[in-house]
Chain A
Amino acid sequence: MNVETTEKTQSPPLQSTGATPAATKSKRTKIPVSLLIGGSIMLAWLLITIFVPLLIGRNAEEVTYGSKLLAPSADYIFGTDALGRDVLVRTATAFRYDIVIALGSVISAALIGVLLGALAGSVPEWLDNIEMGVLDVISAFPSVILALAMAAALGASIGTLIFAIAVVLIPQYARATRAAILSERSKPYAEAARAMGLHPARTVLIHLLPNTLFGTLTQIALDLPTAIMIAAGLSFLGFGVQPPTAEWGLMINEGSSYIVSGQWWVTFFPGLAILTLVIAFSLLEVGIKRFSGRQ
């Protein structure tokens, strides 16, 4: 090949083009406040769930005779419930189950949903229609009711909760991914991949799919609080996590009969816990959006 690059019509020197003129200013990407706060709350909960029971010296199922329904005090910071168990320890312990259920169900739903969506966007239309039809049936049911029916049918436990909530969440991922794949598919770079002779599976998986992932991540952040709410709701009704395991929704139920007689703490603290976690997820979601927007 010729070496005289001077004969070549050289392109103008490389410059960062105007796509994000502001971003080129800050060389180091700053982490948004919301991400910090959200992350701290999550971290705090992790520490709480591990260390609080140890520090207090009681575990979630421990019954101390003679200490039923004690109001919050120095001994029992969150009080005790109807069976004499420490509400603080139970609230701290319950985080484990709820976060496992939330992460388990949402991530399963995302994985399965994205694959189904990619499939729907790549196969012939009739197959696509069948798949979407099935998903439509699932989304026709109100989520709580469907999850309730499944949990009841399969026997309430943490595993069935994860399964039931995942089923409820899958259609959204499938639909969003399918739409994104169909839209990316018509873009020139997808055609270029085809024109290059790439195998269609490779095109979808390696070229198209990564460009759809941002929407998926946002959806995951949105679904985590939803999953926790459904899990808590189902446990509240008695079809989720079973006693004596500590779970926030279940605890709210256990305390509900005592509200009218003024023992508020059994119900209050688990609900507060849910609230803080949901807020943490919202902040994380906002933070992720801002962070990737900056890039």
Chain B
Amino acid sequence: MKVLGYAGRRLIWMLPTLIGALIVIFFLTQALPGNAAMSRVGQFVNPETIAQVKHNMGLDKTVPEQFVIYVGHLFQGDFGHSWKTGNDVIIDLGDRLPATIELTLYTLIIAIPLGIVLGTLAAATKGSWFDRIIHTYVTFSLGIPVFWLSLMLVYIFFFLLGRVPSPTGRLDILDTPPPHITGFYTLDTLFAGDTEMFGRAVAHMILPVLALVFVTSGPIVRVTYSTMSNQLTSDHIRAATASGLSRWRIVGRYALKNAMIPIVTAVGLTARLLLGGAVLIEIVFSWPGIGRYAVESLLVADLAPLQAVVLITTILTLLINLVVDVSYFWFDPRIKVA
């Protein structure tokens, strides 16, 4: 299949970018202020111990050597060790990645259809009051800082209305997490048959997902609106209308399909924005995901977790780009592999 070949070639071309990214990550984290060894054992230990710790951490080798060792470890799946949590980073990631993905997935599942539907409706009812409301919605969606929105939502729904639990993470403070099957509490609680905890898991997710959906749906609505507007005034749609097809059928089946390419591009953009926005949300809601993991590690100059998180998010970004580009072939049969 030609498309697979294209995807394969793209993956290969991704390698130099990935290597470049690795170099940047490595050197940026090296540049972080603070002596990593001293942060670990404290400042008041004698120099010999520090030298010993440095040796253990491999910090006494030359920088290029350290880089090669680092990459070598990566290939073995060894992301290093977090001295703050005491675990290997890969274990920490295993705990925290599902938390972030759970948030992002639910956000995307809601935001993408919502954005497309709102944008389409606005384009179809151009000039109406509904159209204007949607425009205002987009302006606010793009203009509100997500962390501020989250805090305001907490104020309104938690403090004033008492309808959601306090922002203390994925479950109530006294809860023990369900047995790990997928890592998604919303699913694992169901698998464990604990419907009350399921309810609490969902309750804790309401505000963060709401905030994220609001902020990420803006670009999708906007792109959908502009492409659908173009589509609906185009000749082929006029021809379809003239031939008697019902309006909604036209919109849904013909116009939308052609509009998918810019929409998919916007979705890719949104997904990438989410990766960054997740960091901020996790701080506000004390969500134990990889974003918060990165920031906490950054604060104490614990390098390995930081490198790992940046690496993962970068790989995800590149993969998202790849998926979006490959999807073009699916949506537009005219595009052929070069």
B313–A142 contact, CB under 8 A? yes
| Any B CB within 8 A of the CB of A179 | no
From B136, which residue of chain A is reached at the shortest CB distance? Answer: A279
Which of A144, A154, A238, A259 is close to B276, meaning CB atoms less than 8 Å apart?
A144
Interface residues of A in 252-283 (CB under 8 A from B): 252, 255-256, 259-262, 264, 267-268, 270-271, 274-275, 278-279, 282
Tell me if A's interface is mostly helix, strand, loop or mixed: helix
Q: Are A141 and B314 in contact (CB under 8 A)?
A: yes
Partner-contacting stretch, out of A55-63, A72-80, A129-137: A129-137
Given contacts A148-B298, A259-B159, A261-B159, 8 further A-B contacts (CB under 8 A): A141-B313, A142-B272, A142-B273, A236-B147, A237-B280, A237-B283, A271-B149, A275-B143
Contact with A along B121-150 (1 / 0, CB 8 A): 000000000000000000110111101110
B149 surroundings in chain A (CB, below 8 A)? 271
CB pair B280–A279 under 8 Å, yes or no, is no
Main secondary structure of the interface of B (DSSP, over half): helix
Asked whether A144 and B20 contact (CB < 8 A) given A149-B310, A271-B145, A279-B143, the answer is no
A287 part of interface (Cβ distance < 8 Å): no
Instruction: Please tell me if the beta carbons of A260 and B167 are within 8 angstroms of each other in the complex.
Output: yes
Residues in B lying within 8 Å of A, measured CB to CB:
16-18, 20-21, 24-25, 28-29, 31-33, 139-140, 142-145, 147-149, 151-152, 154-155, 158-159, 166-167, 272-273, 275-277, 279-280, 283-284, 294-295, 298-299, 306, 309-310, 313-314, 317-318
Write the chain A residue with the least CB distance to B31. Answer: A153
Question: Of all chain A residues, which has the CB nearest B283?
Answer: A237
Residues of B within 8 A of A262 (CB): 155, 159
Which residues of A are interface residues toward B (Cβ below 8 A)?
Answer: 133-134, 136-137, 140-145, 148-150, 152-155, 225, 229, 232-233, 236-239, 249, 252, 255-256, 259-262, 264, 267-268, 270-271, 274-275, 278-279, 282
Least Cβ distance of A194 to chain B in Å? 28
Most buried by A among B18, B149, B158, B313: B313
